[in-house]
Amino acid sequence: MGKTLFDKVWDSHVVSTIENGPQILYIDKHLIHEVTSPQAFNELEDRGIPVFRPNQIVATADHNTPTLHQDQTIKDALSRKQLEQLSENCKKNNITLYELGHKYNGIVHVMAPELGVTQPGLTMVCGDSHTSTHGAFGAIAFGIGTSQVAQVFASQCLLLTKPKSLRVTVNGKLKNGVLPKDVILYIISKLGTNSGTGYFCEYAGNVFEEMSMEGRMTVCNMSIEMGARGGMIAPDETTFEYVKGREFAPKGEEFDKKVAYWKTLPTDSDAKFDKEYSFDAEDIAPMITYGTNPGMGIKISETIPVDENPSFKKSLAYMNFEAGESLINKPINFVFIGSCTNSRIEDFRVAANYIKGKKKAANVTAWLVPGSKQVETQIIEEGLKSIFDDAGFELRQPGCSACLAMNDDKIPQGEYCVSTSNRNFEGRQGQGSRTILASPLVAAATAVEGKIIDISKQLN
């Protein structure tokens, strides 16, 4: 029987198997940031264990960083201390750190692919659940807890039981205005937030084959929102083209050799998956969420479903929505375009293309937070910044920002925010805030109109 993409990458990284137990899996790249690494460094230090392979670790500061005045000292003492500790830990252990203000700084899942750290066929981990993003390149990439961060520091390996395999196939032609974000929100709305738990997911079909790397990253990023530890897309010419020439990508002959290997990775035609789903691209429309988990999504023109489940009702009560109502024309005061899901250059091009010549509504605060310094520079160089400035949108500096509101970028109590991020959990964007997940196009349109509109009607 043939092997899946996941099997091929996993099997080539197994150091050994414990009888009736987990396997020792070798990890090629370990990404770290300020929030989930300090306790792991402390643990190693307490136990007198050195960092085993510092040159396979890349560090950045992103979760807890301000998005204004990054050149100044951070005001919040705890945030400042966390960043200082990251710098100190990296220095002590010879780990490369792209700290705040560095030209390569950014959200870990945006900057690592940009630098060519992310490559097909690798195993990658980070103490962040959205590490699944890197699966867009045909890598096995997944989020880990801090104890596991310490394990990788100590041994460059993890003890894991091989997950089951799941394939989601989407074929057909996407409608006008349907973006990669809509595709993944649609899939999660159909499958629910725990359908992928215990599985690694491969996305297949012409819809993903035709997507840019940015789009594939958006899709794989949200795999964890249906419970899957990771998501993968087979590497192809689009992938090779993206990786080629980047800072840490293999060069010259070495690159050609790698490409030849990467071409062997896609799933064999006779491989079997433990679970399979398939959807028609034509059925997907611009999506929006109405509840407090990412599975609670509808097409923007649909009404909120009716459900008697107490947790469902609790969720609607939190959002102050009624079962059966439409979200069209709901006034919105906050719009956030950013996060590791949608803060790449393509996302800002989509937004700028819509916004050009328009103005944001007077009631709206619209934050645009690029995923990295490189994206920020691109926004300026491509002239997008002037479009945003003219329209009254606020372009801030890179970081995780209002996706999880660890810094000062918080949505006030009771306010709705149409957000391109990945989680609409209670209070995710600030205590009492109400998050509505959507694509950068829907977010941009909401900011211009000051309310939710049916973007598909406007486009067609």
Q: How far is the CB of 434 from another protein (least distance, A)?
A: 13
Residue type, 206: N
Give the Cα separation of 286 and 288 in Å (integer): 7
Which lies closer to another protein via its Cβ, residue 113 or residue 121?
A: 121
* CB atoms inside a 10 Å sphere around CB 247: 9
Restricted to residues 342-371, the positions that interact with another protein (CB under 8 A) are none
Strand order in the sheet with 14-17: 14-17, 23-26, 157-160
Q: Give the 3-state secondary structure of residue 420.
A: coil
- Specify the DSSP element, H or E, that contains 159: strand 157-160
Q: How far is the CB of 159 from another protein (least distance, A)?
A: 5
In 13-139, where do the E strands start and end?
A: 14-17, 23-26, 29-32, 57-60, 96-98, 123-126
Contact with another protein (CB under 8 A): which of 115, 158, 219, 379? Answer: 158
> Dihedral angle at the C-alpha atoms of 425, 427, 430, 431, nearest 10 degrees?
180
Which lies closer to another protein via its Cβ, residue 341 or residue 446?
A: 341
Q: How far is the CB of 202 from another protein (least distance, A)?
A: 17
Q: How far is the CB of 368 from another protein (least distance, A)?
A: 21
Residue 156 touches another protein, criterion: CB under 8 A: yes
Print the binding letters for residues 191-210 with another protein: x by CB under 8 A, - otherwise. Answer: --xx--xx------------
Residue 118 touches another protein, criterion: CB under 8 A: no
Contact with another protein (CB under 8 A): which of 7, 432, 450, 456? Answer: 432
Furthest C-alpha separation in the chain: 65
Residue 311 touches another protein, criterion: CB under 8 A: yes
Which lies closer to another protein via its Cβ, residue 150 or residue 418?
A: 150
> Dihedral angle at the C-alpha atoms of 203, 206, 212, 217, nearest 10 degrees?
-10
Stretch that binds another protein, among 47-55, 104-112, 171-179, 369-377 (CB under 8 A): 47-55
Residue 127 touches another protein, criterion: CB under 8 A: yes
The size of the interface with another protein (CB under 8 A), counted in residues, is 70
Q: How far is the CB of 425 from another protein (least distance, A)?
A: 4
Contact with another protein (CB under 8 A): which of 3, 7, 26, 349? Answer: 26
Residue 63 touches another protein, criterion: CB under 8 A: yes
**58 phi, psi to nearest 5 deg:** -125, 130
In 22-148, where do the E strands start and end?
A: 23-26, 29-32, 57-60, 96-98, 123-126, 140-143
Residue type, 426: E
| Residue position matching structure tokens 């599985």 | 199
- Specify the DSSP element, H or E, that contains 458: helix 455-459
By the 8 A CB rule, do 88 and 390 touch?
Answer: no
- Residue 72's contacts (CB-CB under 8 Å, 6 or more residues apart) are none
Stretch that binds another protein, among 76-84, 279-287, 365-373, 386-394 (CB under 8 A): 76-84
Q: Tokens for 130?
A: 């959205």
Residue 51 touches another protein, criterion: CB under 8 A: no
Contact with another protein (CB under 8 A): which of 65, 238, 267, 293? Answer: 293
Residue 146 touches another protein, criterion: CB under 8 A: yes
Say how many residues make up the chain: 460
Contact with another protein (CB under 8 A): which of 4, 79, 341, 439? Answer: 79
By the 8 A CB rule, do 141 and 131 touch?
Answer: yes
Residue 238 touches another protein, criterion: CB under 8 A: no
**CA 441 vs CA 68, 160, 183, 287: distances in Å:** 24, 39, 13, 11
**For residue 69, how far is the Cα from the chain centroid?**
25
Stretch that binds another protein, among 142-150, 359-367, 376-384, 438-446 (CB under 8 A): 142-150
By the 8 A CB rule, do 431 and 406 touch?
Answer: no
Q: Give the 3-state secondary structure of residue 391.
A: helix
Contact with another protein (CB under 8 A): which of 93, 162, 425, 456? Answer: 425
Which lies closer to another protein via its Cβ, residue 86 or residue 110?
A: 86
Q: How far is the CB of 214 from another protein (least distance, A)?
A: 23
Reference 24, options 13, 34, 40; nearest CA is 13
Which lies closer to another protein via its Cβ, residue 143 or residue 338?
A: 143
Contact with another protein (CB under 8 A): which of 176, 329, 386, 431? Answer: 431
Residue 36 touches another protein, criterion: CB under 8 A: yes
Q: How far is the CB of 9 from another protein (least distance, A)?
A: 8
Residue 413 touches another protein, criterion: CB under 8 A: yes
Contact with another protein (CB under 8 A): which of 161, 377, 386, 458? Answer: 161
Q: In 320-419, where does DSSP find H-type helix?
A: 345-355, 373-381, 384-391
Return residues touching another protein (CB under 8 A).
Answer: 12, 15-16, 18, 20-22, 24, 26, 35-36, 38-39, 42-43, 47, 49, 52, 63-64, 76, 78-79, 81-82, 85, 121-122, 127-129, 143-148, 150-151, 154-159, 161, 193-194, 197-198, 224, 227, 229, 261, 293, 309-311, 314, 404-406, 413, 423, 425-428, 431-432
